């Protein structure tokens, strides 16, 4: 199973909005509404930020939002804050009853 | 507070074996699927394996199928990963992760245990 495709890096200034894309196929992202996003700060474990395309777990700020169109999912962070600087990973359930991750995107808040 | 504490990592020669453990607390362990996810140093995440809450069903990534076995002991709130025929490419930080309402996502993660396969 090939990894989902994410940009290696994105950047933005405090207060701005950024969007991270995650491209898969009809066998994963396009086939189910089971797309998830994780945030990982250096040296820390990943943290679930979005589940099932657009739902936020309790405690995740509403500045984080998710969406999906066809085989591509997106994570948007509005009102960027310095603490948002981290790596972000998307993941999806697949037709093979497995989970696949994206390669990760490093967000830099300038 | 939900806690996941991995142990059992270390240095092993190619072809060797290791058994990882993950002790869980703070939630009803026998209600949720549990998974292992690994991260190669400096690189991304890779799902490894999942076991359902009663322990009757398991799934594996193709890269570990036939070599790794996941199991759980609900009486001890612990999940295991038996890793055999280890290869250098298995070198990674292994995270234990709790499944959410569906097993397909992971809402709590441990801090990981490092496995190094090298001669």
Min Cα–Cα distance to chain A from B8, Å: 18
Q: Which residues of A touch B100 (CB under 8 A)?
A: 48, 51
List CB contacts (< 8 A) between A102 and chain B: 44
d(CA B91, CA B42): 12
Nearest Cα to Cα of residue B67 among B105, B29, B14: B14
pLDDT of residue B20: 98
Q: Closest partner residue to B45 among A46, A48, A98, by Cβ?
A: A46
Dist. CA B34–CA B78, nearest whole Å: 10
pLDDT score recorded for residue B104: 86
The answer to whether the CB atoms of B50 and A99 lie below 8 A apart is yes
Minimum CA–CA partner of B61 in chain A: A98
Per-residue pLDDT, B43? 76
Q: What percent of chain A lies above the pLDDT cut of 90? A: 95
Report residue A55 CA to chain centroid gap: 12
Per-residue confidence (pLDDT) for residue B15, from 0 to 100: 97
pLDDT in tens, B12-24: 999 999 999 999 9
Q: A5 to chain B: nearest residue by CA?
A: B44
- Mean pLDDT within A4-13: 96
Strands B45-51 and B18-25 come out as: unpaired
What is the per-residue pLDDT across B28-81, written as a single tens digit (0 to 9) for each?
999 999 999 999 977 789 999 999 999 999 999 999 999 999 999 999 999 999
Three-class SS state of B100? coil
- Inter-chain CB proximity B112 and A45 less than 8 Å: yes
**CB distance B107–A46 less than 8 Å?**
no
For residues A89 and A1, what is the distance between their CA atoms, to the nearest angstrom? 16
Whether A1 and B110 lie within 8 Å, measured CB to CB? no
Interchain proximity B100–A98, CB inside 8 Å: no
Query: What CA–CA distance (Å, rounded) separates B31 from A45?
Result: 23
| Contacts (Cβ under 8 Å, ≥6 apart) of A55 | A66
Q: Do A36 and B61 touch (CB under 8 A)?
A: no
Q: How is residue A90 written in tokens?
A: 């998307």
pLDDT for position A31: 94
**Is any Cβ of chain A less than 8 angstroms from the Cβ of B27?**
no
Per residue in A75-91, pLDDT tens? 999 999 999 999 999 99
3-class SS string, chain A: CCCEECCCEEEECCCCCEEEEEECCCCCHHHCCCEEEEEECCCCCCEEEEECCCECCCCCCCCEEEEEECCEEEEEECCCCHHHCEEEEEEEECCCCCEEEECCEEEEEC
What is the model's pLDDT at position A3?
86
**Residue A2: pLDDT band by 50, 70, 90 thresholds?**
low
Q: What's the pLDDT score for residue B102? A: 85
């Amino acid at each position: 199973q090939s990894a989902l495709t994410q940009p290696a890096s994105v950047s933005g200034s405090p207060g701005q909005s950024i969007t991270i894309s995650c491209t898969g196929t009809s066998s994963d992202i396009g086939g189910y509404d089971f797309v998830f996003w994780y945030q990982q700060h250096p040296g820390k474990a990943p943290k679930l930020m979005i589940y099932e395309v657009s739902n936020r777990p309790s405690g995740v700020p509403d500045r984080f939002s998710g969406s999906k169109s066809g085989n591509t999912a997106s994570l948007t962070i509005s009102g960027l804050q310095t603490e948002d600087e981290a790596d972000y990973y998307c993941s999806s359930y697949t037709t093979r009853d497995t989970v696949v991750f994206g390669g990760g995107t490093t967000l830099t808040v300038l | 507070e939900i806690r996941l504490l991995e142990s059992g990592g270390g240095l092993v020669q190619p072809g060797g074996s290791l058994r990882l453990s993950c002790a869980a607390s703070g939630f009803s362990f026998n209600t949720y699927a549990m998974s292992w996810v690994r991260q190669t140093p400096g690189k991304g995440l890779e799902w490894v394996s999942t076991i359902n809450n009663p322990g009757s069903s398991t799934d594996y990534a193709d890269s570990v199928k036939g070599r790794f076995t996941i199991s759980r002991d609900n009486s001890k709130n612990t999940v295991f990963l038996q890793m055999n025929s280890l290869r250098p490419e298995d070198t990674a930080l292994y995270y234990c992760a709790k499944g959410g309402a569906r097993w397909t996502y992971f809402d709590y993660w441990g801090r990981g245990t490092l496995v190094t396969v090298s001669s």
